[in-house]
Amino acid sequence: MEHILNQLAQAINNKEQAALVTVIDFQGASPAKIGAQLVLFQNGATTGTVGGGKLESSILEDAKRDLDEHKCGLHHYQLTEEGKDSIGTLCGGEVTVFVQSYFPAAQLIIVGGGHIGRPLKTMGEAAGFLVEVVDVEPGRADIPQLESSGLSEQSYVVLITTDHISDEAALRIALKSPAPYIGMIGSLAKCRTIIDHLRVDKISEKELCRVYAPIGLDLGGSSPQEIAVAILAEVIAVKAKSGQANQHVRMRRLPELP
């Protein structure tokens, strides 16, 4: 069991998703006993066992579903051919397992460590994000440049540099990643101009529609701190897949400029 938990700890340290399955109860004839554990890793590999055979296969299906849906779960199995929770075996017993899913903390990447980036960093950390600031100016950044290889499905990218050239360059990099949120600050005219530049370079409309621009929910504030709140609110809404985020005006819905 120590070997199993060590591998789980290693996956967590590597910021990988994993699910720990533990047998918490059994009745009657069952290949799984209380305390048996199995770890399902992000790539589908496993270590440990919770009984093997059709029972373990059924448990793994539920564990994968819980991992995909970012939730934990309590699951019951009847080792019978028919009936509620049956898995099609003849043992006759029943098993209950608990699936504990582990996920790396979401990453907030702030490209631009200026007057909006500073309060956004503080707020993002308070909200539980792992925050990294990208800025070429020494003293304002954790890292000097943005690399798409460091961005994942858990990365939320905020483009708030001091000039449109830097925003456009960072946007091109961010769009190469699977980041679920890419937001860019600026006026409608600036955002449309940058998007048009990317269209000329044959970047697809599907990719361009991933961009939230102008950035942030419309909360009515105008100070750097209020803008930071609006940006973080939008990021959290997207992360939670709320209706408010889906109603945000993206680039494809912007009105034509005169």
Residue type for position 220: G
| The pLDDT of residue 90 | 85
Instruction: List where CATH 3.40.50.720 sits in the chain.
Output: 107-253
Closest CA to 55 of 26, 23, 77: 77
149-185 b/e (C-beta count within 10 Å ≥ 16 → b): eebeebbbbbbbbeebebbbbbbbbbbebebbbbbbb
Residues sharing a CB contact under 8 Å with residue 216, sequence separation 6 or more, in sequence order: 183, 185, 227, 230, 231, 233, 234
pLDDT digit string (tens) for the chain, length 258 residues: 678 889 999 998 887 899 999 999 999 988 889 999 999 998 999 999 998 999 999 999 999 999 988 889 999 999 998 888 888 888 888 999 999 999 888 999 999 888 999 999 999 999 999 999 987 665 665 666 788 768 888 899 999 988 888 899 999 999 999 999 999 998 999 999 999 999 999 999 999 999 999 999 989 989 999 999 999 999 999 988 744 444 444 443 444 444
| The pLDDT of residue 105 | 84
CB 235 within 8 A of CB 179: no
Token pair, residue 153, equals: 């499905």
- CA atoms of 108 and 171, how far apart (whole Å): 15
**Distance, C-alpha 14 to centroid of its chain:** 15
Burial class of 233 by CB neighbour count within 10 A (0 to 12, 13 to 18, 19+): middle
Nearest-10 crossing angle of helices 188-200, 164-174: 50
Token pair, residue 3, equals: 């070997």
Which run of H or of E encompasses 43? none
Residues sharing a CB contact under 8 Å with residue 13, sequence separation 6 or more, in sequence order: none
pTM exceeds cut of 0.75? no
Burial class of 200 by CB neighbour count within 10 A (0 to 12, 13 to 18, 19+): exposed
Closest CA to 166 of 140, 194, 133, 125: 194
The architecture of the domain spanning 107-253 is 3-Layer(aba) Sandwich (3.40)
| The pLDDT of residue 143 | 63
Closest CA to 57 of 31, 33, 83: 31
Burial class of 205 by CB neighbour count within 10 A (0 to 12, 13 to 18, 19+): exposed
